[in-house]
Structures are given as C-alpha cells and as structure tokens.
Amino acid sequence: MPPAAVATTNTLKIITSAASPSCIRWRVSGICYWLHCTLFGCTIRTSTKVTHYLPDAVVSTYHNPGDNPWQEMAGLSQVSGGLENSITGALGGLTAGGGNQKLKAAGSRKTNLNFKYADAIGHPASLIVSNNISGYSCKSVARPLMPYFLSTLDSLAWRTGMPESFYPESLIPGQRELGSQLASNMWGNIFPRSGFVTQVDDDKANAVSAQRVADIITRRGQVHVYQPLVGNPSEGYWPPAPVKENAGIGNHKWQRLSPTESKSCAIFPDGEHPSAIDGSAAFALWQPYSCCERRGQRLLYTVDY
C-alpha cells in the first residue's frame, strides 16, 4: 500500500470517532435473576442482561519520541524519556532511537527490523459512550486520559525483550502469533512483547506493536512497567477478558484512528492499509462488557441468549 500523509489526530477527533454503532454493538444478551428479600419475605426479580463494547484505550505507535500521532499526548514520551536515556546509556547506546533498518537475508530476500515506541492512554470517550448508549449500559474499567503504558518508562523490557525472549511463547514457532501462516496472513509474533518487530509493511508492524501493548495492559503481574487496565467482576457485572490475538471480535476489536480513520472496528489481521510517512499510527481498543441492573441482594443465575 502507498504511504498516507503524516499521521495526526487529536482528542476531538478521537471522541467523535467513538460515535460508531457498529463498534458499540449494543444488544440484549440474556436475563438476570435476583433474590430480593425484605422483612415481609423474599421474591425473585429479573432484569435484562446487556452486552456492548466500549472504547477503553488509544494505543499509539511511532518511530521517535514526541511523534505520537495523538497531538495532545505527543509530549508524554519526551517527558518520560529520562529512564530510557539511562537504559540506553547503560547498553552503550546500541539500542537507542527508533525507526527501521533494512536487513538482507539469504539470497535477495529482505526484511525490515522496526523499533516502535508505544503509548496506551485511556480513551477520552470511554465514559461518554457508556453514559450515552440508548438503554442500560455497563461501566468502563478505563479512566479517560490515564497513561496505562508508556514505552519510555518500560525501556528495560521494551528495548531488550528480557526476560520474555526466553519464554516458551517466544521460542516455540506457532505460539502466540498475530495471524496465521496457513492463512498466509501472519503479521508477526506477540512474544517477546518488545518494541522490535520484523515486518516489511510498516502498518502491520504498528498493528503488531499495538497488539503487544494491549496484551500487556489487560493482564496483571506482567514483567513490564505499566498500569493494568483490568476490571473486577461482580454480581451482575462482567468486565472484559484479557486481550488475545486471533480470538475473534468476542474478545476485543480495533478501530483505526490514524493515519486514516475508520468508522468501523475489526480484529487484526484486517487486510492491507496505507502506512504513514512518519511511520506512526493510532488505534482505539474496544472491549466487550456485559451487565444487568441490580434488582436484589443476590444474583441467583443468568440465562444467556
């Protein structure tokens, strides 16, 4: 695909892009049965269970600090770059900077080794969408504009790939890959979850980097510096499961924000798309929620459609 223009977006555009019925996909998904007790006895009450998606985070990937395509957040990587400078200095500067490097393999085959900075920021419209869905809606676990991941603060793991380079997922072919070799659409490996991606297509390299970030922040206890984007289930409330590649739209989906904005959502791999001249991109991570109105002291059971 030919390169697009320099990738830029802003908070207003991101909020506006979230008004997407196809991404929200609100639906009635079942019935909840509650035990409601008073001094005069107990009764069973019902409420409607609903399922829909919410935009939880904006994941941006780019080549150089300060090049985040989300204009209002572009300075975060520069402000938080002190730790990275210390790490790269300790490594002798061998891994400093971003961008890509052409590598020539056996014969005439060439690949590109890309290094991507990445940020994951709470979607500015997460609460707006939740509060304006027609009908009962669930609460997002995300906080708008909260930095959940800044690669400049996670430099040790993001630049070296340690210790994840020794994980089975990194060493065994076919484990944790975005796409499939059999389907001829394998975009890259998820592990090690670092900033280095071997990919000739810059758009696909951005997508792999974004998928890695989402994989990190939607789990607790990962060997990275980040803020978990994880909810706690409770009676009548079921927050999203951890993001998993190739799991279908029932697990998560992405909306492209930059360099070109999409009005719909999809999962990676999602075909060919133009890359930006400056190598940056921004994606909105949408996750599914289910909930029902509390109508008693105890949730007895649910019936799902």
Residue 112, pLDDT > 90, answer: no
Taking CA atoms, 217 is separated from 11, 67, 121, 148, 210, in Å, by 21, 22, 11, 7, 11
In the chain, the amino acid numbered 69 is P
Residue 30, pLDDT > 80, answer: yes
Quote the pLDDT of residue 111. Answer: 58
Quote the pLDDT of residue 86. Answer: 57
Structural contact between residues 228 and 141, judged by C-beta atoms closer than 8 angstroms:
no
Quote the pLDDT of residue 104. Answer: 46
Output the DSSP codes for 160-227: H-TTGGGSHHHHSTTSSEES-TTTT---EE--S-SSEEE-S-HHHHHHHHHHHHHHHHTSSS-SSS--
Q: Alpha-carbon distance 212 to 130, whole Å?
A: 26
Structural contact between residues 255 and 55, judged by C-beta atoms closer than 8 angstroms:
yes
* Average pLDDT of the residues of the chain: 90
Residue 298, pLDDT > 70, answer: yes
Q: Alpha-carbon distance 233 to 218, whole Å?
A: 14
Tens-digit pLDDT profile for residues 125-179: 999 998 888 778 999 999 999 999 999 999 999 999 999 999 999 999 888 999 9
For the chain, the residue count is 305
Listed by start position, the domains of the chain span 11-20+52-293
Strands 281-292 and 196-198: unpaired
Quote the pLDDT of residue 192. Answer: 97
Question: Measured in Å, how far apart are the chain's first and last C-alpha atoms?
Answer: 41
- Close Cβ partners of 101 (under 8 Å, ≥ 6 residues apart): 112, 113
Taking CA atoms, 273 is separated from 164, 182, 192, in Å, by 30, 21, 25
pTM for this model (two decimals): 0.91
Model confidence at 101, pLDDT cuts 50, 70, 90, reads low
Quote the pLDDT of residue 108. Answer: 46
Quote the pLDDT of residue 94. Answer: 43
Tens-digit pLDDT profile for residues 44-98: 999 999 999 999 999 999 999 889 999 999 988 777 655 565 555 555 544 455 5
Residue 265, pLDDT > 90, answer: yes
Our CA angle for 277, 201, 119, nearest 5°, is: 65
Kind plus residue range of the DSSP H or E element containing 73: none
Residue 106, pLDDT > 50, answer: no
Tens-digit pLDDT profile for residues 178-205: 999 888 899 999 999 999 999 999 999 9
